[in-house]
Structure 1
Amino acid sequence: MKSHIIVYILVALSALSACRNRDAGYQMSHEDKQAKEMMQGIWTNGESSDPAMLAKGDSIFYPDSASMPVRFWIYQDTLYLQGKHINGYKITKQAPHLLKFLNQNGDEVRLVKSGDKTLLTFFNYHVYAMNTFDEQSQDTIVRTDLGYFQSKVHVETTSDQVIKSTYNDDGVEVDNMYLDNVALVNLLNHDKLVFSHNFRKQEFQSLISKDFLEKSILRKLYFTHADDKALYYDVIIGIPDASTSYVIELRITPDGKITKKLR
């Protein structure tokens, strides 16, 4: 008899676990539509009354032009947000004008719905990349055995997006968008262009793991020194707004031969 009870308990726990770990597609198709309807509108921080998020349709927007909107649904008293990752936040209380949930650290977040339509201006924006207007230029005169060369480097953003997840003041994961860079290197001898190349991070994939490369941007490329035969540059590829990076030494000869190695 006891063995039968144990079996029943194990089956029940297994069913409960399976229910809790349904995939996102199942959760969305079985979402709590009434709870989602109550979410619609502008929500402010319960402590400061600052705008925290706007729930509109299937999406949540943040009052920050760098944070991308995410899809959301509510399933079994859990608020799910789908950006680069899917995160679930346990709802501890939900009412028409009050929402409480636990953030990533287990701290309770208290949001209050606002009827102040002027707060919509905080959400009336296009999402911009954190480094949209970043540019770098370097112009250097270099001496080699083959004569004097002018090294010109210009680094600017491309349209290639890299998404980095971080946490906002409420402890909720948000996605910030960055743009990858391209670095143009021109070498001139007596004002004659003898070498020109656009360097992108993909050209260094033999030295950097694919997973890291996908999460990183080409941050910088700059001239460091020259010897009798070549010019040397440092290429920095790293996670946006983080200290984690690779430094690659780039060697370019005036006749256009390129070698790369990790520093």
Structure 2
Amino acid sequence: MGDREGVEEQRVDMWAAGDAYDRYMGRWSRPVAGGFVTWLDAGAGLRWLDVGCGTGALAATVAARCRPRAVVGVDRSVGFVASAGAAAPEPARFVVADALALPVHDQAYDLAVSGLALNFLPDPAAAVVEAARAVRCGGTVAAYVWDYAGGMGFLRAFWEAAVQVDPSAAIQDESRRFRLCRPDPLRALWVRAGLEDVAVAPIEVATVFAGFPDLWEPFLAGQGPAPAYVASLAPGLRDRLRDTLGRAVPTRSDGSIALTARAWAVRGRRPGGTALGRAPG
């Protein structure tokens, strides 16, 4: 279902370079993946499917912390799958595949999870149904997405600065475009997919930048909606945006910038079996 933009064809173009993504958003993906796994509180010996695995932050966290029987990550981006596979701990493995047509048998997994990807799919509802198909009766379908509306400090500062220098930027702000990334729409999506015992919770992580260049330079790499907007600007307007953002962010005496990022996590159980628990034996 990793943090991507627009229709699927755009997503592939914009999310191809694993190193650039890691500096822009991936470094925050790892701590939020840890919070998500803690919240799920799944047992050992389970089979995990990571849908929209991106550069593998969630799958690697599962492999390191959950003693899984298997972890399979799927993503449409060849570049991301290559990055994930290069650093994958056992038993994680990764394949190029579409979240809307998963290459797995029915009820093959105990959990189907997705990190920071659901809102970038062309049909999130169909993706949740497809994930539910992949888990056993009583298995868990779960995901998390960034809270673009109010929980992403550095992105909120970025778009406020962008609109100040270019009012037409407002239409590209993720808080307007990704209205799914809020508790009520997420809960409704899981309920409509036929999942039971649906729960939603916030996960917050610190986003501390060593200095303004550490915050600004990842926006120049083109990996994501905001960086793609920066790449579209003429040099003069780009410089105005940089200077406006630099004045707006709260800089500490040592030059560092301390903000926070919040994600919303959602989980539900496929009906027809008992709630997910520890694997027997």
TM-score w.r.t. length of structure 1: 0.22
More strand by share: 1
More helix by share: 2
- Greater RCO (Cα-Cα under 8 Å, separation 6 or more): 2
